[in-house]
Amino acid sequence: MMESNPQMSSEQVDRVCIIGSGNWGSAIAKMVGENCERLPLCESRVNMWVYEEMIDMDGIATKLTDIINSRHENVKYLPGVRIPENVVAVSDLKEACDGATLLIFVLPHQFLPRLLPTIREAAHPSCRGVSLIKGLDFDKETKMPVLISQSIADAMGPEFQCGVLMGANVASEVAAGDMCESTLASDFGPPVDEMTREIFDYPTFRVQHVSDIAGAEVCGALKNVIALGAGFIDGLGYGGNTKAALLRVGLREMAKFCRMFFEGVKDDTFTQSCGMADLITTCYGGRNRRCAEAFARERINSDDGLGFIGDDCEVLWKRIEDDVLKGQKLQGTLTAKEVHTVLVARDGLDKFPLMKRIHEISFEGKSIASIVDGIVVDNRL
């Protein structure tokens, strides 16, 4: 393990570890790996922690880590995309994080609590983090939203700082080299903010830096809720006009939620890639929209779910997640539930008519067609 603080010395270099290896983790590994190979302030080797799975390869059960390290491809979650050879898949979490000075978190946030004690023990004392996780934590006692980046920082210790990388970034398109933008929100201070940005920035993945961590992270979570509404619109067969209205109202509700619960949120954040752009791409091409469209079509085909109750909705969501995502997790439904809980606790649900209606359709049996009744603006603060 390194002894000195790499953030305070020009002689030290960053040791990067990626926590997670799904499609987004594998896509980001492609760019981070290539950047660490060429940047003088980074170690070439990048560890990628992989939850070990056995994969059938021509009738032979093979460890996913062995496949990634021999074929340099994540055949399960990002097939057909080459991962740089300096990215090493490691199934032992402590080994993967040993001495790391930059941790990149890219996994479903519900798995973090059991992993963070091991990560804290293994990482360098001066380590910092960047979360690519799009969701929110919620305090069960106060019923208040908590940034996942803050939950990570709290678990990692008083000196740990965690930024976020959010943006209009569909993993398959990023991996294919389609040009896109992303937003790094961090407050590490100079020169570390720029050093961190350079680790992610890539000719086809253009990263801008902002300091508004809360605004960027909450946008990354709430856009998944709005995307459920976009999927309902698509399931109904409505066109661009209706979806544009939903996006406009959705963006306003996202901004209102940010300002209601977090201080220092900046208006400019909502026009960054983490705001408006991410909302647009998620509502046209993301997994949450895709699953919500399947949910809507199935309910419409059964007379729009007449007699549907909460348990029926839960069963249908789970089946669609399994069938469509093949092992990946649907974040929009989880966030919709948690947002609903916190708004009810604050007696603020009626101030968010779109998010309220999305929850009612998703979990309370309201008709899919009623989504248009939620596309209204409530100007109360």
Alpha-carbon torsion, ordered 226, 228, 234, 236, to 10 deg: -110
- How many of the other CB atoms lie within 10 Å of CB of 105? 25
Ordered DSSP codes for 18-50: EE--SHHHHHHHHHHHHHHHH-TTB-S-EEEE-
* Residues involved in catalysis: 223
SS3 content of the chain, % helix, strand, coil (to 5): 50, 15, 30
Q: Using an 8 Å Cβ cutoff, are 205 and 31 in contact? A: yes
Residue 152 has which token pair? 């990570």
Residue 39 has φ and ψ, to the nearest 5°, of -80, 130
Q: Write out the H or E segment, with its range, that includes residue 359.
A: helix 353-363
DSSP assignment letter at 57 = E
3-class DSSP state of 145: strand
DSSP characters over 257-278? HHHHH-SS--GGGGGSIIIIIH
Separation between Cα atoms, residue 331 and residue 8, nearest integer Å = 37
**Which two tokens mark 156?**
């990692």
CB 131 within 8 A of CB 165: yes
Burial, 117: exposed, middle or buried (Cβ in 10 Å; 0-12, 13-18, 19+)? exposed
**H-state helical runs in 203-346:** 213-236, 240-261, 278-285, 287-301, 310-320, 331-345
Dist. CA 166–CA 275, nearest whole Å: 8
C-alpha–C-alpha distance, residues 226 and 362, integer Å: 12
What is the dihedral sign for C-alpha 29, 35, 36, 38?
positive
